[in-house]
Structures are given as structure tokens and as C-alpha cells.
Structure 1
Amino acid sequence: MKRKIITTADGSKTIQIEEWNEQYHSVHGAINEANHVYLKHGLLFFNSELNEKNISILEMGFGTGLNAFLTLIEAEKRNLSISYVGVEAYPVLQEEIEVLNYVELISAKHKVKFEELHRSSWHKDVKISDFFKLKKEHVLFKDINYTENFDVIYFDAFGPRVQPELWTEDIFKLMYEALKPNGVLVTYSVQGTVKRALRAVGFIVKRLEGPPNKRHMLRAIKR
């Protein structure tokens, strides 16, 4: 499918799948969305609730690396130790990565770290910094196999409008099993089918205020 780079409302770039009219991030602001949904209501919520410095994160949809990049920087600021697994079925191309402007807008001093996120080998643990260890998995969502490995899941798949098969009870059962007790899953989608699927596999689901120009988002907790 044809992909093109577009600029979102906060000035940050993202990738659009033209055939689907679907973007990797919100057109209302890629960085704003990532900070609000995944950092504020995922990582920072878990850190504050459990006062935990060692945090393991699973990202479903590594994509442009934006969520990982923001997490790496936040870990450094807060002296957190992050073990991060990024799952991606269809990796972003190098020529696409080169035109993304996250480094310029977020932190120029972390340019090399952003490049390392994308250059690092698949299926290997790689130390990106003293605060951030990365393992990228080039697999389909349905093929992950983890049991109580993670504290936080960033669920950042393409939306249920275009890939409904990624938002099913079967997939969310894998997410539930991958989380430790008290683990947190956050996602931008608030569709009724998504909420029902999350609850059906055991999650406690809460609707929260969404990022700019989006009314709501979801946080699901495993008890």
C-alpha cells in the first residue's frame, strides 16, 4: 500500500496509508497524542500509582518509533529503568524515518538515540541508554507469546475501522496474559466493540479525556 508523509496539527510529521485514509498518529498532533495517551496515562500513571522505577513496556505497533523516543527521554528525566519491547509487523522504511521531524521538535540532543531505535537489530536486546533497553519484534500481533512480562502496554495499532482483526477478544486475551497483575493497557480507541472486548477478557476499563480534538481514550487495568 502506498504511504506518504504528512504534517499534523502540532507540526510533527506522521505517515499516512492513502488507500485506507489512515495515519500512524493523530492528524491533530502526533506528538501531542503520544504524550497524552501513552506517556501521561500509561507510563506516568503506572509510575505514580505503584512508585515503581523499573518498568517493562510492550508497544503493539512500534511504527515510527515516536512512543519509544518519548519514553526514552522521559526515563532519563525521571531516572527510570525501562525495558521496552516494540512489536511491528510492517517496519517503517529508512527513507521514511529520515524525513520524520521528531528529533527537531522534541530533543535535538537525542538525535543519535532516535537513530539507534531504528538501526537496532530485530529480536535482540539492545541497550540504547543507561535508562532504556529495547527489543524489537518483527511479528504479527497474533503471534506474540508473553506471560506476565509487562507493566504497561501501549496499544497503538491501526484503528478498528481498517484493521478490526487487531481489536478482538483473541488479541486482547494475549494482551491480558502479557501483563503483570496491576498492569495497564492504554489506547486511543474508544469504540464500543473495543471496550466490550477488553472487558470480556478481564480488564477493568476506564474512559479518560482524550488528546487534542479527540474526546476520549481508554485505559484498561489487569487486577
Structure 2
Amino acid sequence: MQILKSRDGSSTIFNQEYGECYHSLKDGAYTETLHKHILPPILFAKSLQKPSLKILDICFGLGYNSFATMMQYLKMGYKGKIEIFSPEKDRGVFEKILALQYPEELSKINIPKIIETLQLKNKILITPDISLELFFGDAHYYLSQFSNGDIDIVYQDAFSPKVNFDLWSLEYFLELFRVTHIDCIITTYCVNREILLNAKNAGFFVYKYNSSHTRKSAFFVKEKILESEKLILWE
């Protein structure tokens, strides 16, 4: 297991099977998580104003997206219900997570306790209003279990299209379009033209996001939003 320290000091792991790190070393594991995935729904999709949120975290990996979601929404005083659903292929992630030292920002979450529970069953109630479900298996099969318009937020954070194209194909984005709500938002680090085109052809409006904290990222929505200096509609 190769543990690496990223630019912001937070740690990630190099995945031998896919030949990639779970996070960008240049952006920083925690910085990338926060600014490419967790904050865009809050900034652009008014997620804090919704009474409940169903979040799809593709894929669970080292858990950064799910853990940071819990902390950020609690920190910002969100009073609604949050359900996080996450497919994952690698049953070895528990060992990786327990070997990792997470950043101070996530220290209030009892990560070892969460993993201990998930090793026994696939769902855990973190707080009375926050739950996490982990599914080991094929992400396409997992998506088929959701009803039309079920999901509010998707963290599209699978390994890159170069090594995991199955989770970036047009067919995959068509399935995401089916399971997401009309005011959904799908966040991603990927700005590859072919992938953005797949999302657009599936029916999404595609925006490139220029955050001052990370390199470029993107997100997909079903309804247009206002453009800005940092947010540009991709056509």
C-alpha cells in the first residue's frame, strides 16, 4: 500500500489496479474533495435550502467525499436529512481507510467506528439525520435500483476515463440522467472533451468551473444556471 502526501498536506493512496491515485496530488486530497465536489452543490444548486438530500458518491474509495459531506453540512448548520449512497468495487478499501491519517477537518468523525459498522452491514446511521449506505459491486447494477428522479447530488469521482471508461460512457450518463432530480447537480474533476460531450448528449447542461483553489473541474445540471467569471457553459 503506497500512501502519499498531497499538496495541501492531506494523504491519499496510489491504487495499484488502476495505476492512479485516489486524489490529485497537485490540488490536494482534501482541497479537491471540498472545492470540486462538496461546495459546488451548496454554491450553485442551493442544497442547503432543501429539506432533504439524496447523494450518490461514485465511487466510495477512501471515503473523503462522504466524510467531508457530513462535516461540511453539519458545520454550515444544515437541518435537513442527508442520505449518501455509494457503490464501490474494491473490498480492500476498509484496510486502506484504516491505514490513512485523515486531515484535521474530518477529525470529529469517528471514521474507524464507521468502518467497523460497515464491515458488518452495508448501512450506518451517522447522526439521526445522516446515513451512509455502501454497496460492494457493479455501479451500473446499483444505479438500476434507484427510481427516476431520486438523486439530488452526484459526486462523479470514479477513476479516470482512461482506465475506467465504463463509468464515463454515454450509456452511463443516460442512467445518471434517469435517476437524478430536475434540479440535480453532478460534480466531477474530469474536463475531457469526450466525457463532457457524453454528458451533454445524455441531456445535461455542462459547465466548466474555475475555482481559485483547484485546477479546472466541471459539473452537469438539467436546468441552466447563471454564468459568471468562474462558471462557463460548455457548448
Shared fold (TM-score, shorter chain, > 0.5): yes
Aligned-residue offset at 1:18: 4.1
Aligned-residue offset at 1:24: 0.6
Matches within 5 A, 1:117-136: 117-121=114-118, 124-136=122-134
- In structure 2, give the amino acid aligned to 1:100: L
Deviations 1:78-116 (A, max 9, x none): 2242111011111344332222121x5214332x2x224
Q: Secondary structure at the match of 1:109?
A: coil
Aligned-residue offset at 1:171: 0.8
In structure 2, the gaps of 5 or more residues are 224-235
For these two proteins, the number of residue pairs brought into alignment is 216
Identity %: 25
Matches within 5 A, 1:182-201: 182-201=183-202
Name 2:22's counterpart in structure 1: 24
Matches within 5 A, 1:139-158: 139-143=137-141, 144-145=143-144, 146=146, 147-158=148-159
- Is contact 1:83-1:133 (8 Å) kept? yes
**In 1: Cα distance, 2:42 partner to 2:55 partner:** 8
Distance 1:205 1:117, change over 3 A: farther
Deviations 1:105-160 (A, max 9, x none): 214332x2x22432333774421113311111112122221221110000110011
Distance 1:157 1:211, change over 3 A: farther
Q: Secondary structure at the match of 1:11?
A: coil
Aligned-residue offset at 1:25: 0.8
Which deviates further from its counterpart, 184-193 or 128-137? 128-137
Name 1:63's counterpart in structure 2: 61
Deviations 1:201-223 (A, max 9, x none): 10011111157452x11110024
Name 2:220's counterpart in structure 1: 220
**In 1: Cα distance, 2:196 partner to 2:88 partner:** 23
Matches within 5 A, 1:7-156: 7-18=5-16, 20-28=18-26, 29-47=28-46, 51-77=49-75, 78-79=77-78, 80-102=80-102, 104-110=103-109, 112=110, 114-121=111-118, 124-143=122-141, 144-145=143-144, 146=146, 147-156=148-157
In structure 1, the gaps of 5 or more residues are none
- Is contact 1:88-1:136 (8 Å) kept? yes
Distance 1:136 1:18, change over 3 A: closer
Name 2:227's counterpart in structure 1: none
- In structure 1, give the amino acid aligned to 2:91: P
Name 2:230's counterpart in structure 1: none
**In 2: Cα distance, 1:179 partner to 1:10 partner:** 32
- Is contact 1:75-1:82 (8 Å) kept? no
- Is contact 1:169-1:200 (8 Å) kept? yes
**In 1: Cα distance, 2:123 partner to 2:94 partner:** 21
Give the superposed CA RMSD. 2.1
Distance 1:60 1:94, change over 3 A: closer
**In 2: Cα distance, 1:5 partner to 1:91 partner:** 18
Distance 1:74 1:81, change over 3 A: farther
1:165 aligns with 2:175: no
- Is contact 1:60-1:154 (8 Å) kept? yes
- Is contact 1:204-1:221 (8 Å) kept? yes
**In 2: Cα distance, 1:159 partner to 1:32 partner:** 18
Deviations 1:149-202 (A, max 9, x none): 110000110011222222100111111111011111010000001110001110
**In 2: Cα distance, 1:212 partner to 1:180 partner:** 28
1:179 aligns with 2:175: no
